[in-house]
Amino acid sequence: MQQSSFSRGYALALLLLLLFWLAPLVAAAVPQVLLNGELLPLTPAPLESAGSVQLPLRALALALGGEQAAAWEGEVLDLKVNGQEIRLREGATEVEVNGSRRRLSAAVLRAGEDLYLPASLVAELLGYRSVWDEEKHILSLEAPLARVEALSYAERDGRPGFSIVATRPLRYEVRSLANPPRLVVDLYDARLAAGDPPVPGNSAIRGLRARQFAPTVVRVVADLVQPVSFAAERDPARPQQLNLRAYRVVTRASFSRTEGQGRLTIQGSAPLVYEVKVLESPPRLVVDLPQAVLQAAETEQAVDDPAVAKVRLSQFQPDLVRVVLDLKTPLSYRPVLTEDSRQVALELLDQVVGLQVEEVPGKTRVIIETTGATAFSALHLTQPERLAIDILGAAVSPQLQPVAGQGEGPVRQVRAAQFNSETARVVVDLTHSVGYQVVKEEGSHRIVVEINRSAVLGKRIVVDPGHGGADPGAFGRSGLREKDVNLDLGRRLAEVLQNRGAEVFLTRSDDTFVPLYDRAALANAQQGQIFVSLHANSFRHQYANGSEMYYYPGNEKAKRLAELISDELTGLGLANRAIKANKEFVVVREPKMPAVLVEVAFLSNPDEEKLLADAGFRQQAAEAIARGIERYFQEEGRAAAAQ
């Protein structure tokens, strides 16, 4: 059995050999086709007639491109040869190549189960040269094949991939296959001359392998680490090089808020290209990422935020990832750079959505409501008096209206405007200068401006610049006159107090002599609530220095006023000498109101004379005395409230 089987196989092989050897002689009329010198077996065989040869197209396609290369449906033959799609119809004098029609100089013939065209036309369609040797009945087709010389792994802009180098620009086709994930690149009119590069490859590719898939087709297969799409393009600098680069992979998109600043972060495998659209109804921010594929664990993420509801990711198109930030209110954004170049980060420009004025004991509160932003800087501006609170990373809601202050409080109105593209400015217009602080309210997205209601608001204050006219008071060694110092101090103090809403009466506003009793009488006539006499001190010895206050013995309110003014003047660096009670000072005894005489500093002391001669110091002194007065009325207010 074994022996007989062997003998039969031997005989068959011998017969075949004989047949091949004899074929050109026996079937001299059957033309043969050589492609680049190698025999291309075609079944059925080409037809020869009248000095030309007709090629069986379906057989040719199968020989060049494999089983998938031809589809025969009755009269229509679809071929896929060397990356070209060719559609032929029996009897037609035209052909469709890659969807466009071309006229033929001969009609398509049918014989048996195949369609035929003259070899010269076929060669033209394929871009080959053809030579028909009529004597030998041999058709030689010369295909200009590109030699594939090198395969290599490559990585550019953080995108892993590979390159194929050939002797000519290649025609190619790229397909992705799954299980296991791989990329198939067919190179047409190509001849493989390169070996496989060593494994492993890079972050996207396990390895590359190439083979001569068909006589004119080289197939390169990239085994992938994970399924990723690739973009293929001829190298701009070297067209004979084909570059394949993995699409960017989007792995995550998330929204976070740090220190009031909302941020959308999109994480990619490589630097991402993106485009942002701000859309309305419903409000949302759309980020499109081309040449990117989505490989995210989460494609939808609810957000607990005053401005943002949700983050969504999708593969919007085969090569486009779309990230959508669903907003609760329309917001703009600004791109920010992060340390990770593979990240896209967009900071939300939050909105100022609410303004409110609220009166609480001793204070007026201005409440600024935002959609999230709470980073701010505040400044005090004058002429007119106002506070400006700049909210960083915020825009003013178009619906926001100015708010008027209430009652006699220091707030005239509150308004908001866009200061620059990234900063919203809230302006608090004031009736007078105030003390204030700006705070973030815990657990909310509100910035609160707390304005101390001026304690001197509406208070009637008599300011008495000592001496004047014929009475120059003391003299400094340089000739500085006390009456001039006192008048300047008095005017400054009056202005500071008036700015804070007090009603101020000066016992003299120019260089005139006013007797002591007249000063007190004026204060009484004006029904002042306090009386502050301003002086510059003098003593026989220049050693004496510092501030000294006088009040009428037993007048506790006047004593307290003196203590507070002294405390503030001491804060300027002046020595705190004494607060003395004496019955004989006319201006602290005669006014029917708490009255103090303030000796700011010594004209007889050379250092202090220099201070008193300095307008800047006099302003500081006036402001210090005003603070003392303010504190006095704050205490009075608290005492009144306690009763």
Partner 1 sequence: MIAFVLLAAVAVGVAVWRQVRPPIQHPRGEIKLYFATRDGLYLVPESRPLPAAAGLTSAEERAFFIVRGLLAGPTQERLVPTLPPGTELLGLRIEGDVLTLDFNRALQENHGGGSTGELATVYSLVNSLVEGVPGVARVRFLIEGEPIETLVGHLDLSHPLAPDWSLVKPSP
Mind telling me the catalytic residues?
599
Q: Is 581 in the site for partner 1 (CB under 8 A)?
A: yes
Among 101-109, 236-244, 451-459, 474-482, the segment contacting partner 1 (CB under 8 A): 474-482
Give all strands of the β-sheet with 423-430 in edge-to-edge order: 376-381, 386-392, 423-430, 411-420, 403-404
Residue with tokens 């707390």: 450
Written as six digits, the tokens of 550 are 């006088």
Q: Can you tell me which of 475, 567, 570, 572 binds partner 1, judged by CB under 8 A? A: 475
HEC assignment per residue over 335-395: EECCCCCCEEEEEEEEEEEEEEEEEECCEEEEEEEECCCCCEEEEEECCCCEEEEEEECEE
Among 85-93, 177-185, 332-340, 600-608, the segment contacting partner 1 (CB under 8 A): 600-608
Q: Is 613 in the site for partner 1 (CB under 8 A)?
A: no
Among 199-207, 252-260, 313-321, 538-546, the segment contacting partner 1 (CB under 8 A): 538-546
Distance CA 173, CA 232 (A): 9
Among 174-182, 194-202, 290-298, 544-552, the segment contacting partner 1 (CB under 8 A): 544-552
Specify the residue, 515 or 571, whose C-beta has the smaller distance to partner 1.
515
CA-wise closest residue to 493 among 555, 545, 565: 565
- Minimum separation from the CB atom of position 489 to partner 1 (A): 15
Fill in the amino acid letter for 408. E
Considering only residues 429 through 458, tell me which ones interact with partner 1, judged by CB under 8 A.
Answer: none
Specify the residue, 106 or 578, whose C-beta has the smaller distance to partner 1.
578
Among 32-40, 393-401, 494-502, 572-580, the segment contacting partner 1 (CB under 8 A): 572-580
Where are the strands (E) in 67-111, listed by range?
A: 70-73, 76-81, 84-89, 94-97, 100-103, 109-111
Q: Is 393 in the site for partner 1 (CB under 8 A)?
A: no
Q: Is 111 in the site for partner 1 (CB under 8 A)?
A: no
Handedness of CA 334, 338, 342, 343 (dihedral sign): negative
Distance CA 511, CA 148 (A): 106
Q: Is 478 in the site for partner 1 (CB under 8 A)?
A: no
- Minimum separation from the CB atom of position 422 to partner 1 (A): 58
Written as six digits, the tokens of 116 are 């035929």
Q: Can you tell me which of 515, 527, 614, 638 binds partner 1, judged by CB under 8 A? A: 515
Q: Can you tell me which of 269, 537, 555, 620 binds partner 1, judged by CB under 8 A? A: 537
Q: Can you tell me which of 280, 584, 616, 642 binds partner 1, judged by CB under 8 A? A: 584
Distance CA 97, CA 83 (A): 11
Q: Is 599 in the site for partner 1 (CB under 8 A)?
A: yes
HEC assignment per residue over 138-168: EEEEECCCEEEEEEEEEEECCEEEEEEEECC
CA-wise closest residue to 631 among 555, 578, 568, 577: 568
Handedness of CA 611, 614, 615, 616 (dihedral sign): negative
Written as six digits, the tokens of 543 are 């050693």
- Minimum separation from the CB atom of position 385 to partner 1 (A): 36
Distance CA 538, CA 342 (A): 75
Specify the residue, 330 or 468, whose C-beta has the smaller distance to partner 1.
468
Considering only residues 330 through 349, tell me which ones interact with partner 1, judged by CB under 8 A.
Answer: none
Considering only residues 546 through 565, tell me which ones interact with partner 1, judged by CB under 8 A.
Answer: 548, 550
With contacts defined by CB under 8 A, how many residues of the chain interact with partner 1?
38
Q: Which residues bind partner 1 (CB under 8 A)?
A: 466-467, 471, 473-475, 482, 515-517, 535-541, 543-545, 548, 550, 577-578, 580-587, 589, 597, 599, 602-604
